[in-house]
Amino acid sequence: MALPGVLHPFAVPARPADEFLEIVRGEACRVFDADGRSYLDGTASLWYCAAGHGRREIIDAISAQLHELEAFHTFARFTNRPEERLAELLLELEPIPDARVLFTCGGSEAIDSAIKLVRAGHKAAGDGGRSVFLSRHYAYHGVMLGGTSAGGLPANRDPFGTLLPDFFQVDRDSLPAMRDAVAYFGAERIAAIVAEPVIGAGGVFPPPAGYLEGLRELCDESGAMLVFDEVITGFGRLGSWFASHHYRVTPDLTTFAKAVTSGYQPLGGVIVGPRLREWLEADPMYLLAHGNTYGGHPTCCAAGIANIELLRSEGLPSRARSAGARLRAGLESLRDRPGVVDVRGEGLMQAIGLESPFTAGMFTEALLERGVIGRALPYANTVAFSPPLIISDDEIDELVAATAAVLEEAG
């Protein structure tokens, strides 16, 4: 059996080439394969396609920018209008008041950048002994060495040998456990607590009431920084622009990616709040020796501007709230079916937890047969749904009906 030339991410390297599903086209909430079959995109690709597929406004903005200036770097004194404008738009949304933005090419780079910025900030403040990063079991923070070390999914850590020192994971939802960890390592040694406000790839687990507020208090008491990884939750998915708004907790840094461009171009970044800014800006001779070749790429930023303007003009964060409520109600109606152990989520990030005879992997295969794309999250034997924020009521009903049919079939 021939293997594909591509070594696919998060896939079995030995999988034969003819088992891959080639997606060739997208339109609104649907994508089409090479044989012309249509699928309802119940996952917005990998959580990112908030605005839906094939949006002319974003495509035209990318094309116009390519004709004007396809790319030029932004190191040292160079800048460009799209990156400045996108930063303005992001800061107007105020994930953190009085902040600045560092652009990266995606979420993993954003997390590793945040880790380095935290370290550099403490060092610049004369507090470089703060080396310990605490994070949550089941968290996913991307695939670079920093994010892998902060991540709490064993399957993503175990194959890769020794990770960074001083990174520790704590029970996912336990504030007392996080408090104990801070006390154990010593408050003066904690650099940051890094948290996905809603655990995503680890199974879609919203935080218990008071948990994020508790992390904020713990950081204030200990002098550590609070980093929210909003790579999934940013740009409307929860029904608010950011999880920091949704849960009314302001972190010191926020990482973002994915829906900032709805995936039309790769882009991510770190929102750097006033506390870290102050330290980095205090010495006029201080050089921030960090950043990517493509950070602030004008074409990617043009996609971000058009996307955010579209999310704004179409009120898509609030659409996520109503669409999410409908999806939740639909899934709740299946809660008593054999094989379903849980229904949970927030906004348009919803999931069903499964038990035997179902595995999440076979469930999403069965959904695919019915023309619906769901996301298997094997760690929690869960299937997640996070469709584009433009999803119609009829399409939500279609997604729920397909889920019910798969449950029925096995029952």
Ligand X SMILES: Cc1ncc(COP(=O)(O)O)c(C=O)c1O
Task: Count CA within 13 A, CB hemisphere, residue 211.
Answer: 22
CB of 255 to ligand X, least distance (A): 7
Any contact of residue 252 with ligand X (CB under 6 A)? no
Q: Give whichever of 28 and 46 is closer to ligand X, judged by the CB atom.
A: 46
Any contact of residue 196 with ligand X (CB under 6 A)? yes
* Strand, coil or helix: 346: strand
With CB under 6 A as the contact rule, the residue among 43, 45, 80, 108 that binds ligand X is 108
Tokens of 235: 């740009």
Any contact of residue 265 with ligand X (CB under 6 A)? no
Q: What is the dihedral of CA 133, 138, 144, 150, to 10 degrees?
A: 10
Which residues in 88-107 contact ligand X (CB under 6 A)?
Answer: 106-107
Counting every residue written for the chain, the total comes to 411
CB of 354 to ligand X, least distance (A): 21
Any contact of residue 346 with ligand X (CB under 6 A)? no
How many residues line the site for ligand X (CB under 6 A)?
16
H helices of 189-251, where?
211-222, 243-246
Interaxial angle between packed helices 107-124 and 274-281, expressed in degrees from 0 to 180 and rounded to the nearest 10: 60
Any contact of residue 201 with ligand X (CB under 6 A)? yes
Q: Give whichever of 222 and 244 is closer to ligand X, judged by the CB atom.
A: 244
CB of 394 to ligand X, least distance (A): 28
Any contact of residue 226 with ligand X (CB under 6 A)? no
CB of 46 to ligand X, least distance (A): 6
Cα–Cα distance between 25 and 31 in angstroms, integer? 6
Cα–Cα distance between 239 and 223 in angstroms, integer? 31
Q: Give whichever of 106 and 152 is closer to ligand X, judged by the CB atom.
A: 106
Sheet holding 340-346, edge to edge: 340-346, 349-354, 382-385, 375-377
CB of 392 to ligand X, least distance (A): 26
Which residues in 376-395 contact ligand X (CB under 6 A)?
Answer: none
* Strand, coil or helix: 311: helix
CB of 215 to ligand X, least distance (A): 16
Residue 7, amino acid = L
* Strand, coil or helix: 335: coil
> Where does this chain bind ligand X (CB under 6 A)?
46, 106-108, 111, 140-142, 196, 200-201, 229, 231-232, 257, 268
